[in-house]
Amino acid sequence: MVMTASRSITFRGYFLPGPAIGSAPGLRDAGSAYIPLTPPLPTLQPCPAAQAQNPGRRGWTRGSRSRRGGARTPEPRCQFLQLRWLSSCCGGLDFPAAPARPLRSPAAAMQNQVLTPHVYWAQRHREVYLRVELSDVQHPDISITENVLHFKAHGHGAKGDNVYEFHLEFLEPVKPQDNPEGLMRENNIHIQRKNCGSRNAEEKQLLDHMVRWGYDWLTHKLTQRQVNLTVQKKENHWWERLTKQEKRPLFLAPDFDRWLDESDAEMELKAKEEERINKIRMESRVPNDSFANLKRGYLFMYNLVQFLGFSWIFVNMTVRLFILGKDSFYDTFHTMADMMYFCQMLAVVEIINALLRVTRSPVIPTLIQFFGRNVILFVVIGSLEEMQSKAVVFFVFYLWSAIEIFRYPFYMLACIDIEWKLLTWIRYSIWIPLYPLGCLAEAISVIQSIPVFSETGKFSFMLPYPLNITVKFSFFLQIYLIMLFLGLFVNFRHLYKQRRRRYGPRKRKTN
């Protein structure tokens, strides 16, 4: 390398025009020399001596030609990289090192970034519904200050398991978040809340009063997959949009599962108001029943006795069927008649309960079932010895008891406010195959008894003079067959309504 006193630096056949060393500020001897980064790097020019020694070498740095075919121009580069290349060529100049940039991990970058969850909203005239798409949320921080909803929670969202937060300034004023503890302190009620500990009766009464009169203005419900928020509006009217800013936030979208137009929301509001008024009227009409516990005890004991009676019949018939086989068909009446007589005679209590409104059972289906079974049991089977040894008696008794061993325990548990879902489903479903089969078995027994009544003349009578006509009881049995199938239709319709009320399709609630 040749360094001259002129205003240039020559190296490897190139020279760098510039001030002489020692005269230019910032350019010094080797070892402490440096070239400042602020001014632009001068353009490299070819050295004549180098071109004479190497004619084939143009002496230019790598660059690009102009569109008009002119000479190459130096390729624009980062000043720092050009200076480092120049230092390596000169061998004596020292340039400052590149500034060290701290490496940031993705986790650290994620912590500094504010994550917002997906939020879906819908509204009614009185309230706003928000659904936050976060799963596994335990203790969210939710508050309303100066008409702005603040939400912060740790959960699993679109960006994984992190802390998510968002803020929404509502278009219209909403009811601020009230402090139940402050209201209780105003009423001189002390709260000792440790892990949601129990409150005394006075505290519970005040909390119910707060909810009833609108102190519970911001409520949230945590599920495994989302967080549901309900915010009460100060004025009951429809909003054009949710937020005060006209541009919708990117994380906010309509909740089409709850979305209703303004007209539909008004109809829903009217329906709720009518339902509330009707409920108040019904409650005012129903007097306070001071014998409620006595009624429950009475109904529980009645259903328990009936359950035990029909269970005894069903179990004994099942055991005899497995032991004796078909031979058990012909002596069913002689072994089970006494218990069946007791259970069917006791069933008259159900008619009394329906007439006195002790139960909500309709009177007509109860009468049809009671008289229909007793005609078969006492008249058709019990009064004819020829019928008592027929196989149809087994099927009549077995089908009756199979239905009742599920119906009576269901009512028995309902008296003590216990619901077993499997038993409930069986009670409302097993009648579908068994009830028609029971009516068919009853009809077969009536048809088999008609010739016996005609031959024996039992229960037949003669009309007085001048008619002198003998009326056979078999004629009434033929009429009874028609009434039997009409009764089947009435009871089947009643049971179908009960099942549809319990398990049928319901209108989806949107509140």
Tens-digit pLDDT profile for residues 308-336: 999 999 999 999 999 999 889 999 999 99
Pick the CATH number of 110-190+205-285 from 1.25.40.20, 1.10.760.10, 2.60.40.790, 2.60.120.10: 2.60.40.790
* Residue 507 burial by Cβ neighbours in a 10 Å radius (0-12, 13-18, 19+): exposed
Strand 160-169 relative to strand 148-157: parallel, antiparallel, unpaired? antiparallel
| pLDDT at residue number 491 | 84
Reference 9, options 95, 46, 1; nearest CA is: 1
- Phi/psi for 279 (5° steps) reads -65, -40
Least confident of 64-78, 194-208, 225-239, 416-430: 64-78
Q: Mark whether 480 is an active-site residue.
A: no
The single residue of 215, 330, 341, 435 carrying the catalytic annotation is 435
pLDDT-derived band at 133 (thresholds 50, 70, 90) equals: very high
Residue ranges of the chain that CATH labels 2.60.40.790: 110-190+205-285
Tens-digit pLDDT profile for residues 360-387: 888 888 898 899 999 999 999 999 999 9
pLDDT-derived band at 506 (thresholds 50, 70, 90) equals: low
Q: Is the dihedral of CA 433, 435, 436, 442 positive or negative?
A: positive
| pLDDT at residue number 206 | 52
* 261 or 384, higher pLDDT: 384
**Distance of alpha carbon 473 from alpha carbon 450, whole angstroms:** 8
| pLDDT at residue number 215 | 45
* Contact predicate 425/410, CB 8 Å: no
| pLDDT at residue number 471 | 86
pLDDT reading at 60 higher than 50: no
**Distance of alpha carbon 157 from alpha carbon 134, whole angstroms:** 5
| pLDDT at residue number 26 | 43
Q: Mark whether 435 is an active-site residue.
A: yes
| Number of other residues whose CB lies within 10 A of the CB of residue 120 | 19
Q: What is the mean pLDDT of residues 453-477?
A: 85
pLDDT reading at 170 higher than 50: yes
Strand partners, 122: 129
The single residue of 34, 442, 480, 503 carrying the catalytic annotation is 442
Scan for tokens 């009063």, then name that residue.
Answer: 209
How large is the angle between the packed helices 363-374 and 332-346, nearest 10 degrees? 150
Least confident of 94-108, 134-148, 273-287, 346-360: 94-108
| pLDDT at residue number 510 | 42
pLDDT reading at 70 higher than 70: no
pLDDT reading at 30 higher than 60: no
- To the nearest 10°, the Cα dihedral for 356, 358, 360, 366? -60
Distances in Å between the Cα of 127 and the Cα atoms of 75, 223, 464, 492 are: 65, 20, 80, 44
* Contact predicate 57/72, CB 8 Å: no
CA atoms within 13 Å, Cβ hemisphere of 404: 27
CA 407 to chain centre: 31
**Distance of alpha carbon 418 from alpha carbon 308, whole angstroms:** 19
Reference 41, options 89, 73, 77; nearest CA is: 77
Mean pLDDT of all residues belonging to the chain: 75
Tens-digit pLDDT profile for residues 424-450: 999 899 989 999 999 999 999 999 999
Q: Which helix (H) or strand (E) holds 408?
A: helix 392-414
- The pTM assigned to this predicted structure is 0.47
pLDDT reading at 273 higher than 60: yes
* Contact predicate 252/119, CB 8 Å: yes
Scan for tokens 């479903």, then name that residue.
Answer: 429
Q: What is the mean pLDDT of residues 411-425?
A: 90
Distances in Å between the Cα of 187 and the Cα atoms of 30, 191, 205 are: 86, 11, 12
Q: What is the mean pLDDT of residues 473-492?
A: 89
List CB contacts of 41: < 8 A, sequence separation 6 or more.
Answer: 79, 82, 83, 86
Residue type (1 letter), 164: Y
| pLDDT at residue number 399 | 94
**Distance of alpha carbon 121 from alpha carbon 254, whole angstroms:** 5
pLDDT reading at 39 higher than 80: no
Distances in Å between the Cα of 489 and the Cα atoms of 25, 336, 436 are: 113, 29, 10
**Distance of alpha carbon 350 from alpha carbon 363, whole angstroms:** 9
- To the nearest 10°, the Cα dihedral for 128, 134, 138, 140? -50
Q: Is the dihedral of CA 346, 350, 352, 353 positive or negative?
A: positive
